[in-house]
Amino acid sequence: MRLKDKVAIVTGAAQGIGAAYARALAAEGARVCVCDIADPKPLVSELTSAGHRAIGTVADILDTAAFGAAVDATIKAFGGVHILVNNAAIFGQLTFKPFYDIGADEWDKVMAVNVRGTVECVKAVLPHMRNQKYGKIINISSATFHRGSPLLTHYVASKGAVIAVTRCMARELGELGIRVNCIAPGFTISAAVQANPIYQNPAITNMTIGARAIKREEVPEDLVGTLIYLASPDSDFVTGQTIVVDGGSTMV
């Protein structure tokens, strides 16, 4: 129970990788706010039925008022916010295309959600973390940034920007007792990936697994150990770092 008495907000947590993060945090004793644009009630019901403390909030991370209300609801329910997991992002519904075929609207939407959304969520919890002189912010990037993966340039660029933002935030917030770190997952078999026909091509799976030192698919549960480490006091002297979790495909 390394997170006993801690309070966590996870964005994009109603399903997939975000839901795995929420379950892992709750299992370690954290009280969890499941925040998503999708209905969070099924996961909240699952967590509370298992004896955990959880609430659900519906908010678009680009809607500062809505996400601010989610933060306020979390504080009202649990008394504070100690951990923010910036998981919400656009990825699973994207299709492969060269950068010169990516329209301006699609590019701007990916950058807005994946980068500005991350920043806005941190800004929303910052007053509370500053007051308590403690906080763990965990941003989610992608190992694609290190490899320069083609045909998803807007996504890769956005996840590179998340790493840059993480480093800047760590410098600015360290004196306040707030640690800011980043997880860079590899290609993970999430609900969104499974729902996209483009990823049903065995060639993609075989290529991904072939590039790894650990020869298997990555699943959401592969990420939770790193998440708990960064959320817990075990990493209190770690900030500004990006940990790649992709089975050894990327070695930086």
* 159, 145 contact by CB (below 8 A): yes
Q: What is d(CA 71, CA 124) in angstroms, rounded to the nearest whole number?
A: 7
CA angle 246, 86, 4 (to 5 degrees): 95
Q: How many CB atoms lie within 10 A of CB 91?
A: 21
With a CB cutoff of 8 Å and minimum separation 6, the contacts of 83 are 3, 6, 7, 8, 9, 25, 30, 135, 136, 137, 138, 231
Distance of CA 151 to the CA centre of its chain: 22
215: which 2 tokens?
């020869």
Residue length of the chain: 252
Contacts 24+ apart (CB under 8 A), 167-170: 167/240, 169/122, 169/137, 170/239, 170/240
DSSP 8-state code for residue 196: -
The question of whether 199 is a catalytic residue gets the answer no
> Which of the residues 21, 100, 134, 155 is marked catalytic?
155
Q: Which residues pair with 136 in a beta bridge?
A: 83, 179
Place of tokens 């950068």: 99
Distance of CA 187 to the CA centre of its chain: 14
Q: Kindly list the catalytic residues.
A: 155
